[in-house]
Amino acid sequence: MKRITEHWKYPMILLFGIGIANVGAWIYLIALNLIVLDMTGSPLAVGVLYILKPLAAIFTNVWSGSMIDRLNKRNLMVFLDLSRAVLIAVLPFLSSLWSIYAIVFIINMASSMFDPTSMTYITKLIPSEQRKRFNSLRSLVDSGGFLIGPAIAGVLFIVGTPIFAIYINAIALFLSGLVTIVMPNLEKEKIVDAEGSKITSELIIKDWKTVIQFSRQNVYVMLIVFLFSCVMVMTAAIDSLEAAFSKEVLSLTNSKYGFLVSIAGAGFVFGAIVNTVFVTIIPTSLLIGIGSLTVSTGYIIYAFSTDFLGAAIGFFVLSFSLAFANTGFHTFFQNNIPVDMMGRVGSIYGLIEAAFVILTTMTLGITAQLVSIRFSVIFGGLVMFTVTIILLHSTLQKLRAKLYQSIEQ
């Protein structure tokens, strides 16, 4: 027990901080939507909030990887958490919609930097043999945030206002930053060398060439990363039509649509629990391949559904499978991308993913407008299913089996 406690002390503290931030993020998302809707009365104004996230990733990820790999990861995570907390706390004082968009854009930039930074720090902190277990627990924490966050937001709206909920998220990020401060400083001597590591356009171009060279030398690894990113792109694009499909095609009431979302949350939590129990005996290759294929199957069921029951089954299947797919992919990524360039690889491929999210979401939206919403959702689901078939075939190659096994760092 003492040995287990020593090995899992800091990972559990880190999971606690991630959990606080995730719950706060859901509260922030719902509250911000309501604030903008109340201010403008325009669903389009709310929709812009969702476009700002991938736009911020495109703008940031061009250069952020170069900075992430050269900075102290723990200190950068603390700075990003505290910065976001301050910026979010400022939002209620803004009266101009464009000023809100500007601050939200900067917040999203910080979030785009935080994800690859935390991935790199986690890889350094967690031994190879513990990563699958940690990633499964993180999926469980994420699923808890998916359920708890909106529930807390609902309670806060009853006893207070969306602005009050915004402050709660600022506090959550501040607490997350404080939790991160007590984590081990794995790079005590790592700072930016003002002369040798100054972030310049020449250095950024050099880093891009380094990532391209690495990709050419590790074609299979980056193929898996790219295919899984495509799956995430399609989920984002199809999800953008979720409300319209549910209400206009399936003719669901607001209460039934809310229940449908709750079923997805329950599937996410249940899948994360099952994943946590069995993660050590399921090969990483199957977590990625079968998990992704089952996610796309859930979307296919949803796309072809004609009533609430069919949509509910599809939602449950896809959300149940997400924990498996994410756990497998994160473990694969951590075990096969060199930790000293993980920030650059994650940022650059994140940039590509964000660009595809915008392009694909616009394509499905235009298709829904010109043809029909159902056709657009079915088309998106079939594209995703095709990608996951290719992904499954790629993960099951016996010659690549060693890439899915834990390795000593």
Cβ distance 15 to 140 under 8 Å?
no
Q: 288 with 329: CB under 8 angstroms? A: yes
89-138 confidence digits (pLDDT tens): 999 888 889 999 999 999 999 999 998 999 999 999 888 888 888 888 88
What are the two backbone dihedrals, phi and then psi, of residue 44, each rounded to the nearest 5 degrees?
A: -65, -40
In this prediction, what percent of the chain has a pLDDT beyond 90?
A: 51
pTM: 0.87
Q: What is the spatial distance between Cα 91 and Cα 33, in angstroms, rounded to a whole number? A: 12
Average pLDDT score over residue span 236-265: 84
Amino acid letter for position 372: S
The confidence score (pLDDT) of residue 378 equals 96
Residues contacting residue 203 through CB under 8 Å, at least 6 positions apart: 66, 197
8 A C-beta contact, residue 69 and residue 341: yes
CA 33/CA 8 separation, integer angstroms: 37
Instruction: Give the domains, in start order, of the chain with CATH numbers.
Output: 1-183 (1.20.1250.20), 198-400 (1.20.1250.20)
The predicted pLDDT at position 194 comes to 42
- The gap between the terminal CA atoms of the chain, to the nearest Å, is 25
pLDDT at 6: 59
> What pLDDT score was predicted for residue 168?
87
Q: How far apart are CA 311 and CA 302, in angstroms?
A: 5
pLDDT classification of 408: cutoffs 50, 70, 90: very low
Predicted pLDDT of residue 201: 87
Average pLDDT value over all residues in the chain:
87
Sign of torsion over alpha carbons 286, 291, 294, 300: negative
Tokens of 209: 């060439």
- The pLDDT value given to residue 53: 87
Note whether 377 and 303 are within 8 A (CB). yes
Q: 263 with 312: CB under 8 angstroms?
A: yes
Confidence band, pLDDT 50/70/90 cuts, at residue 4: low
